[in-house]
């Protein structure tokens, strides 16, 4: 009984995820589900992309956090379409939460929607929110063994962002170990190294977003 | 129906957690449930505590990870009693996983058991594994806003370890903002600042472990 109920819930979740995708498609919006640990730099990366995309494509954001609207206030102050979801005790965004949020965003006014998930390398990976691709984010401060210890995300994502590379000289992070561990899990996934402090790699990350948009960057 | 089943599962989990506590108590072992983000420095802190406790108290470890036994191999190489649990897709350790693990650890040979949970600021907080206290760990690399965004852990923990303070000069971490956010959630929780690279604060963290042991550090 327990299993049957769980299966039904999952099937229902998938149905809503698919519905979200349809809605987004109808408005010409490409959605990316950004997944990383707490403090890996999700909001900073979004901020950098927004500035870089100015005049090329319009970006909107759904922000997932247990509590507070700090990030949304920060992004809105830049002029971004941003909407906060507070999950309370919830460890991930659900397709239904995103469904509700979509009605609060002027979809015709944006080209790219970044869904910033709750900071967590595990739970968010299992849910299809209706995104076109999952983006896996990891900061060098987390150590070089994350692909080995948390393989799910690195299997499901379409790209890995290795962030805070400016901190490498101040940590024990070993690039070779990182790539070795990652390649053992996912031999072909592209990796973009970034630093929001120096700006390194941000252009590459934005180019990836553009190239992987449904209109191939032709806005 | 769904709710009733969920309640029953939770009640069962709590019962097993209580059973774990009884078992640990019977062997004179104090257990700490160490909760922090991926890469916040959980294993390094355990390693430092083990060295510092040498000759004073014997420490054992249960290691929770989705995959790999990297950390357990690392800790065992130091001579520690360490046992790995791989949770697969599971985002936290459960009381039953710990129950099974306890039978694999020579409890009479240890005084302090650290249960290193899966790297996650959300899910592990809701489960009583049978520990005497939860320890909340956060690294400065995660930013100063974690208490505000992930309040659950900072409400439930008995102490907060603020780790990687050697990185403060290389990040935007603001100590005042951190303490302001934390105090708004939990006005009285003690904070120990540590760096596993410089060794700063490690003695204080070990003193806390000793003082909060069931025999008040008299091993």
Q: How many Å apart are CA A32 and CA A117, to the nearest integer? A: 10
Enumerate chain A positions whose Cβ falls within 8 A of a Cβ in B.
1-2, 5, 9, 37-40, 65-68, 70, 89-91, 118-123, 126, 139, 141-143, 145-146, 148-152, 164, 166-167, 170-172, 197
Q: Which of A9, A120, A149 sits opposite B67 (nearest CB)?
A: A149
User: Shortest CB distance from A123 goes to which of B5, B37, B91?
Assistant: B91
What's the angle, vertex CA A195, arms to CA A179 and CA B174, rounded to 5? 120
Domain boundaries, chain B: 2-211
pLDDT for B217 equals 78
Query: What is the band of A5 on the pLDDT scale with cuts at 50, 70, 90?
Result: low
Overall average pLDDT of the A20-28 stretch? 98
* pLDDT > 90 fraction of chain A, expressed in percent and rounded: 92
So what's the pLDDT on residue B184? 97
Question: What's the confidence (pLDDT) of residue B80?
Answer: 94
- Hey, of B3, B10, B39, which one would you mutate to test binding to chain A, going by the most A CBs within 10 A of its CB? B39
A2 has pLDDT over 80: no
Q: Report whether pLDDT(A120) > 90.
A: yes
Per-residue pLDDT, A201: 98
Mean pLDDT of B142-161: 97
- Cα Rg, chain B, nearest whole Å: 17
Report the C-alpha gap between A177 and A188 in whole angstroms.
16
Cβ contact A150–B66 (<8 Å): yes
pLDDT value of position A219: 79
Check whether domain A2-211 has CATH 1.10.3080.10, yes or no: no
B166/A170 touch (CB, cutoff 8 Å), yes or no = yes
Q: Is the pLDDT of residue B73 over 70?
A: yes
Average pLDDT, chain B: 95
Q: Which of B65, B70, B145 sits opposite A70 (nearest CB)?
A: B145
pLDDT in tens, A50-69: 999 999 999 999 999 999 99
Task: Quote the pLDDT of residue B5.
Answer: 59
> Is the CB of residue A90 less than 8 Å from the CB of residue A39?
no
- Model pLDDT for residues A127-182, shown as the tens digit of each residue: 999 999 999 999 999 999 999 999 999 999 999 999 999 999 999 999 999 999 99
Q: Which residues pair with B113 in a beta bridge?
A: B31, B60
Numbered residues of chain B with Cβ closer than 8 Å to any chain A Cβ: 1-2, 5, 9, 37-40, 65-68, 70, 89-91, 118-123, 126, 139, 141-143, 145-146, 148-152, 164, 166-167, 170-172, 197
pLDDT > 90: percent of chain B: 92
Cα separations (Å) of A38 from A195, B8, B120? 16, 31, 8
pLDDT at res. B219: 79
Q: What is the DSSP track for B129-182?
A: -S-SEEEEEEEGGG-TTHHHHSHHHHHH-SEEEEE-GGGGGGS---HHHHHHHH
In this structure, which long-range contacts are made by residues B175-179, counting pairs with CB atoms below 8 Å and at least 24 apart in sequence? B175/B144, B177/B144, B177/B145, B178/B144, B178/B145, B178/B146, B178/B147
In this predicted structure, the answer to whether residue B82 has a pLDDT above a threshold of 60 is yes
Q: Are A67 and A86 in contact (CB under 8 A)?
A: yes
Q: Do A145 and B68 touch (CB under 8 A)?
A: yes
Residue A6 pLDDT greater than 90, yes or no: no
| Mean pLDDT on B38-64 | 96
Mean pLDDT computed over A111-136: 97
Q: What is the model's pLDDT at position A138?
A: 98
């Amino acid at each position: 009984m327990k299993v049957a109920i769980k299966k039904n819930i999952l099937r229902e979740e998938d149905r809503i995820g698919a519905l979200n995708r349809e809605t987004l498609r109808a408005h010409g919006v490409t959605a990316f589900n950004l997944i990383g640990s707490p403090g890996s730099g999700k909001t900073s990366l979004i901020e950098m992309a927004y500035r870089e995309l100015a005049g090329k494509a319009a970006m909107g954001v759904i922000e997932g956090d247990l509590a507070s609207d700090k990030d949304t206030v920060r992004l809105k102050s830049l002029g971004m379409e941003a909407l906060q979801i507070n999950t309370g005790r919830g460890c991930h965004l659900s397709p239904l939460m995103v469904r509700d949020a979509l009605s609060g965003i002027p979809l015709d006014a944006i080209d790219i929607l970044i869904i910033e998930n709750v900071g967590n390398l595990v739970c968010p990976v299992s849910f299809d929110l209706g995104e076109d691709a999952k983006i896996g984010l990891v900061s060098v401060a987390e150590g070089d063994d994350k692909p080995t210890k948390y393989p799910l995300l690195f299997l499901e994502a379409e790209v890995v962002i290795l962030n805070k590379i400016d901190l490498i000289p101040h940590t024990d992070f070993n690039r070779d170990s990182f790539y070795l561990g990652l390649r053992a899990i996912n031999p072909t996934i592209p990796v973009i190294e970034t630093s929001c402090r120096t700006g390194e790699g941000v252009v590459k990350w934005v180019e990836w977003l553009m190239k992987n948009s449904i209109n191939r960057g032709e806005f």
